[in-house]
Amino acid sequence: DQQVKQNSPSLSVQEGRISILNCDYTNSMFDYFLWYKKYPAEGPTFLISISSIKDKNEDGRFTVFLNKSAKHLSLHIVPSQPGDSAVYFCAAGVMDTGRRALTFGSGTRLQVQP
Amino acid sequence: NAGVTQTPKFQVLKTGQSMTLQCAQDMNHEYMSWYRQDPGMGLRLIHYSVGAGITDQGEVPNGYNVSRSTTEDFPLRLLSAAPSQTSVYFCASSLGQGLLDEQFFGPGTRLTVL
């Protein structure tokens, strides 16, 4: 039972355009969400996070949107750059569990074409 | 500052063998964790530690042991390797109080069990 789903295994966009990566979750208890980026042969690196008390969080070219009623979040990258080509994982957790559980999606491979 | 280091990078074991995956961090982080990543799946938490002397189980702890005698080191032991443990293993640490804070990941250990 996948509680965090990234239904698009891959995405290809042109350099300079917007990349939109989607993530759906089923557990209504989740109230904190994170995005990690992973390059081949490296560990994931933290990108951005959002609490359920917000519906948007922005950090430079990266914006995460949260739609609690739809149990959906998305990561927008504007403008996309070739260096953004990586696998992106969304992850979700529950603050009240003492931050001791985190569920990852299966990832979306983003390819930004020059 | 080396961050999070993992050794070895690659390992091949035979079924029934035991081994220890090493993880060390030099950032004085209290929180450390071990994940495995299998093809087409997200990262799954094996064990975590909130500080020296304190460990707890994650989502998939069976077949693995951990200990945390120092803040810096968090080794993962496979007691009797099985083909189902073929995976890429990541160690991570965080300054904050748990998994919902930014985690810093090591480069991973690719383990094959024959």
Q: Which tens digit of pLDDT belongs to each residue from A61-81?
A: 999 999 999 999 999 999 999
Percent of chain A with pLDDT over 70: 98
Taking contacts as CB-CB distances below 8 angstroms, the residues of chain A near B105 are: 43-45
Q: Do A43 and B98 touch (CB under 8 A)?
A: no
Residue type, B22: Q
Q: Do B98 and A100 touch (CB under 8 A)?
A: yes
Q: Which residue has the tokens 């070739």?
A: A82
The answer on pLDDT for B108 being more than 80 is yes
Instruction: For residue A60, name the pLDDT band (cuts at 50, 70, 90).
Output: very high
Residue of B nearest to A88 (CA): B42
Minimal C-alpha gap between B104 and chain A (Å): 7
Minimal C-alpha gap between B45 and chain A (Å): 8
Mean pLDDT of chain A: 95
B42 touches chain A (CB under 8 A): yes
Q: Is A12 exposed, middle or buried (0-12, 13-18, 19+ CB in 10 A)?
A: exposed
Q: Do B108 and A41 touch (CB under 8 A)?
A: yes
A100 touches chain B (CB under 8 A): yes
Q: Determine the pLDDT at residue A103.
A: 93
- Give the Cα separation of A57 and A60 in Å (integer): 10
- DSSP H/E element including B91: strand B87-94
Q: Which tens digit of pLDDT belongs to each residue from B35-91?
A: 999 988 889 999 999 999 999 999 999 999 999 999 999 999 999 999 999 999 999
The answer on pLDDT for A47 being more than 90 is yes
Q: Which residues pair with A62 in a beta bridge?
A: A59, A77
The answer on pLDDT for A97 being more than 80 is no
Q: Which tens digit of pLDDT belongs to each residue from B20-37?
A: 999 999 999 999 999 999
Asked if the peptide bond before residue A79 counts as cis, ω within 30 degrees of 0, the response is yes
Residue type, A45: T
Least confident segment among A23-37, A93-107, B11-25: A93-107
Q: Is B31 exposed, middle or buried (0-12, 13-18, 19+ CB in 10 A)?
A: buried
Q: Are strands B43-51 and B54-57 parallel, antiparallel or unpaired?
A: antiparallel
The answer on pLDDT for A98 being more than 70 is no
Q: Determine the pLDDT at residue A95.
A: 84
Tell which B residues from 73 to 92 touch A, by Cβ distance under 8 Å.
90, 92
Instruction: For residue A101, name the pLDDT band (cuts at 50, 70, 90).
Output: confident
A108 touches chain B (CB under 8 A): no
